[in-house]
Amino acid sequence: MVNQAESILKSSALSITSSRKKILDVFLSASTALAHQDIEKLADQYDRVTIYRTLQTFLDRGIIHTIPTTDNTIKYALCSDDCISSGHHHDNHVHFLCDQCGRTLCLDDVMIPAITLPNGYSMKEINMVVNGICKLCRA
């Protein structure tokens, strides 16, 4: 079996480098969305600048997406398959930000409900972020 990170890079027509593979592996083995800082720690053999540039590349190709948070940190998460394959990026599930452990989770089963915008507005992307206490912290 081919390395999963490599096949993602190949299907995005990106050259295969060790930093890209490492950063993808970090995402693949993470259960939550990651801040830049998390990635820096988990891939600390690479330069800060490289991580910035790699994340930007992945964003451009739609390999990852950002999740807006109330605490002024951007979190990054891998796009799910259908989100990548649909050509035009859409990320239609709710994100959950735990106030206790700080983790950001994709609630893949909770769809964002449709809303009606006032006349004259057009929608390109929609984000729904819930703050609260997650399953693990309550247990």
Nearer CB in complex with DNA: 54/104: 54
The answer to whether 67 touches 33, Cβ cutoff 8 Å, is yes
Helices (H), 12-88: 18-29, 36-42, 48-61, 81-85
Choose from a copy of itself, DNA, none: what does 19 bind? Cβ within 5-8 Å by kind.
DNA
Residue 77 DSSP code: E
Residue 99 DSSP code: T
Site string for a copy of itself, 40-69 (x = CB under 8 A): --------------------------x-xx
The answer to the question of residue 46 lying near DNA (CB under 7 A) is: yes
65, β-bridge pairs: 77
The Cα 90–Cα 103 span in angstroms is 22
The answer to the question of residue 26 lying near DNA (CB under 7 A) is: no
| Binder of a copy of itself out of 15, 70, 82, 88 (CB under 8 A) | 70
The answer to whether 129 touches 109, Cβ cutoff 8 Å, is no
Q: How far is CA 39 from the centre of its chain?
A: 12
Choose from a copy of itself, DNA, none: what does 60 bind? Cβ within 5-8 Å by kind.
none
Choose from a copy of itself, DNA, none: what does 87 bind? Cβ within 5-8 Å by kind.
none
Q: Which stretch binds a copy of itself (CB under 8 A): 4-12, 14-22, 41-49, 128-136?
A: 128-136
